[in-house]
Amino acid sequence: MQRLESRLGFLSGLPILILLLLAFIMPLFVVAGFAIMPQKVFELTHLPDFSSFAVIWEQGYYRSLLRSLGLAFLTTVILFIVCWPLAYGMAKVFGRFTIVITLAVVLILFVSENIRLFGWSLSLMKGGLIEGYLRSWTGLSFETPLYDWPVIVFGMAYVYFPFMLFPLAQGISLVPDDARLAASDLGASPARILFEIEMPLAAPGIMVGSLLTFVLSAGAVAEAKLLGGRSVVVLTDDVESAFTFAQNWPLGSALSLMLIGIVALLVLVPVSRVNLDAIMGRKR
Amino acid sequence: MRSVSNTTRIALYLYGLLILLVLYLPLVSVGFASVSKARYLSFPVNRYTSEWMVQAVTSPNVHALVLTSLKIAVLVTLLSMLLGFFGALAFARFQWKYRPLFQKLILLPIFFPQTVLGLALLIWFSALGVQPSWKTAVIAHLVWIAPITTLIIAIRAYGFDPALEEAARDMGASTLTILREVTLPLLMPGVISAGLFAFLLSWGNFPLSLFTSGLDSTLPKWLYARMVSGYTPQIPALGVLSVAGSAALMLIGIGLVRWMRRRA
C-alpha cells in the first residue's frame, strides 16, 4: 500500500515536473550560461568571461536595477498602508461585504493589465476622464501626473493590489479577537495594539503579501511603458532592449540573472519554511 | 460583541467602496473612449458612435488576432486541466517521498516575474533552434498557468476523504478504474473552475505572449503595440470587446458550476 502510494504520487507528479524542468529550470540555466559569455555572442560554446558584469558596472546599468528595486520597495510600502484597513475590514468587520470585495477584486484580475493601465492613462491625461470632467464642471484644471515616476508607482500599486490585499486579510484573520481585547482592557492605546499585537500576529500574511508585491513589481514592464512614457527606464526595459535592439544576449542575461538572484533569495527562504499542507487545509 | 466602534465601521465600509471605485475607474474610461465619436479623444465625451465597435468586429485583422488568442487559450486550458489534475493528486493526495519538494517547485513559477520568464524562454527556444510562434506561447503560458490550476484542484483534493478510494480498492477496483470512477468525479468542480481560471488568465496574458509568440500576435500583445505607438479609437473598442468576452465566459462558467452542484 505504502509503495503503491509513493509510486502513484511520483507518476501523477511527473507530467508537470517534466514541463517545469524543460520550460522553467532549463531556461534559467541557459540564462545563467549566457550571462558569463563574451559580449554579443549567440552560442554557449565560447570561453566564459565576466564582461557582461563589467559592462553593467561601467555603463551604469546597475542604476536601472537599483531604480527598479527602489520603485518596487516604495510600491510595497504604499500597498501595505493602503491595504491594511481594507484587509482588516475584510477579516474582522465586513461579513457579507467581504464576499463582494473579494469577487470584485478577483474579477478585475482577469482583465488584461495593459487594458487597465491604458484606462488609467485615459483617466489621468490632460483632457482625460478626471481632468476633463473636473474642468467642465468646476472650471478647475491640473497638470497631468503621467510620464513621471510617481505615476509608475501608482500603476504598480494598482496592478498588484490583490497580491497584497488577500495575504494580508488572511494574516489578519489569524489575530485572535481576545488578544486585542485583552490588550485594550489593560489600557493599551490603538497604536500600541496595532504595533505590538496585530502586526506581529499577522506577520505571515504581511510577509507573503510584501514579498509577492515586491517581486512582481521589480519585474514589471508595462507600467513604466504605458504610464511613464519613456521618461523612466526600469530594469526590464534595459533587459528587453539588450535582447531586441542591441542584440546583446549576454548583457540581457546578466541583467536578468541579477533580478532572478534577488527574487530567488527573497522567495526561497520563506517558501522553504512554510508548511503548505497546514495552510491549504489538509484533513489528516 | 463588536470590537470596533460604529464610526470606524462606517469609515471602513466607505473606504472599501472607494477602493472598488478606483479599481474599476480605468474600465469606465476605456468604455467611454470606445463609444466616443471624436477621432482624438477628449473628455467630457458628448458625441457617441458605435463606428469603432463595428469596425473592430468586422476587421479581418481582428479576426486573426482573436483566432490566435483563442487557439492558445483553448489549448492552455485543456492541457493545464490535465496537468493540474494529476499535479494536484501528487500535491495533496498521495504520500510520497519528495512531496514537500514538489509542492515548493510548483509555487516558484507563480511567484516568478513573468517578463523575465518570457525572456528566459525566448533565449531557450532560440538556443534549441525553435522558431517562436503561437505554439511556443502555449508552452510559456503553461509554465505559469499549470501550477495555478494544480493549486486550485489541490484545494479540492485536500477536502475529500481518501477512504472512498480505499473502499473502491478493497472491492477490487484497479487504479485506473478508481481514478475514472471515484477521483475524477469528486474533483470535477475543482477541475472546471481551474479550467475557467486557465482560459481567462491565458486570454488576458500579456507579458508572456509579448516575448514568446514570435510573429503571431495575440489580442493583448497587439493592443500593447498600438498603445505604445499612439492612440486610435480601435484600442478601447477592442479592449471593451475583449473584456466583454471574458465576462460572458465567466458567467457561463459560474452557471455551469452551479448547475453541476445542483445535480450533485
- Mean pLDDT for B166-183 is 85
Q: How far apart are CA A158 and CA A270, in angstroms?
A: 25
Strand partners, B36: B48
- pLDDT score recorded for residue A260: 86
- Ordered DSSP codes for B62-74: HHHHHHHHHHHHH
In our burial notation (b when 16+ CB lie closer than 10 A, e otherwise), range A64-85 reads: bbebbbebbbbbbebbbebbbb
Q: How far apart are CA A226 and CA A124, in angstroms?
A: 12
In angstroms, what separates the C-alpha of A58 from chain B's closest C-alpha? 23
Residue of B nearest to A261 (CA): B112
**Cross-chain residue pair A215–B24, CB shorter than 8 Å:** no
- pLDDT score recorded for residue A284: 42
**Interface mutation vs chain B, best among A7, A16, A103, A113, most B CBs within 10 Å:** A16
Q: How far apart are CA A136 and CA A143, in angstroms?
A: 15
Segment B180-235, tens digit of pLDDT: 888 888 888 889 888 988 998 898 888 888 888 888 888 888 888 888 887 788 88
Closest listed residue to residue B187, CA positions, set B102, B81, B55: B81
Give Rg (Cα) of chain B: 23
Helices (H), chain A: 2-20, 26-35, 51-58, 62-88, 96-109, 113-124, 129-138, 149-172, 177-185, 190-193, 199-201, 203-218, 222-226, 235-243, 249-273, 276-280
Q: How far apart are CA B196 and CA B204, in angstroms?
A: 12
- Choose among A132, A243, A249: nearest Cβ to B43: A132
Cell numbers that stand for A284 in this block: 489528516
Domain spans of chain A, in order of start: 61-247
- pLDDT score recorded for residue B264: 64
**Cross-chain residue pair B41–A271, CB shorter than 8 Å:** no
Q: Does B235 lie at the interface with A, CB-CB under 8 angstroms?
A: yes
**Cross-chain residue pair B91–A128, CB shorter than 8 Å:** no
Contact B110, B146 (CB under 8 A): no
Q: Does B174 lie at the interface with A, CB-CB under 8 angstroms?
A: no
Segment B72-89, tens digit of pLDDT: 999 999 999 999 999 998
**Cross-chain residue pair A16–B223, CB shorter than 8 Å:** no
Q: Does B175 lie at the interface with A, CB-CB under 8 angstroms?
A: yes
**Cross-chain residue pair A236–B116, CB shorter than 8 Å:** yes
Residue of A nearest to B242 (CA): A111
Q: What is the ipTM of this complex?
A: 0.83
Q: How far apart are CA B32 and CA B135, in angstroms?
A: 35
- pLDDT score recorded for residue A280: 67
Q: B 52-81 residues with CB below 8 A of A? A: none
- pLDDT score recorded for residue A283: 47
Using the predicted structure, report yes or no on whether residue B2 has a pLDDT greater than 60.
Answer: no
Residue of B nearest to A275 (CA): B100
Q: How far apart are CA A79 and CA A157, in angstroms?
A: 6
- Choose among A92, A93, A119: nearest Cβ to B30: A119
Q: Does B90 lie at the interface with A, CB-CB under 8 angstroms?
A: yes
Chain B residues with CB inside 8 Å of A16's CB?
83-84, 86-87, 90, 106, 146-147, 150
- pLDDT score recorded for residue A157: 93
Q: How far apart are CA A76 and CA A80, in angstroms?
A: 6
3-state DSSP call for residue A38?
Answer: coil
Angle (CA) B74 B123 A159, round 5°? 55
Topology (CATH level 3) of domain A61-247: MetI-like fold (1.10.3720)
**Cross-chain residue pair B12–A30, CB shorter than 8 Å:** no
Q: Note down pLDDT in tens along chain A; length 284 residues.
A: 677 888 888 888 999 999 999 999 999 998 888 888 887 777 777 777 877 788 788 887 888 888 889 999 999 999 999 999 999 998 888 888 888 888 888 888 888 888 899 899 888 887 778 888 878 888 777 777 778 888 899 999 999 998 899 888 888 888 888 888 888 888 888 888 888 888 888 887 888 888 888 888 888 888 888 888 777 788 888 888 888 787 888 888 888 888 888 888 887 777 777 677 766 655 44
Q: Does B177 lie at the interface with A, CB-CB under 8 angstroms?
A: no
- pLDDT score recorded for residue B87: 93
Q: How far apart are CA A249 and CA A269, in angstroms?
A: 30
Q: A 51-70 residues with CB below 8 A of B? A: none
- Choose among B123, B201, B250: nearest Cβ to A34: B123
**Angle between helical axes of B6-35 and A62-88 (0-180°, round to 10):** 130
Q: Does A278 lie at the interface with B, CB-CB under 8 angstroms?
A: no
Which of A233 and B14 is assigned the larger pLDDT?
B14
- Choose among A26, A219, A220: nearest Cβ to B124: A26
**Cross-chain residue pair A119–B146, CB shorter than 8 Å:** no
Cβ-based burial of A283 (10 A; exposed 0-12, middle 13-18, buried ≥19): exposed
Which domains, from first to last, does chain B contain?
A: 61-263 (1.10.3720.10)
Contact A267, A215 (CB under 8 A): yes
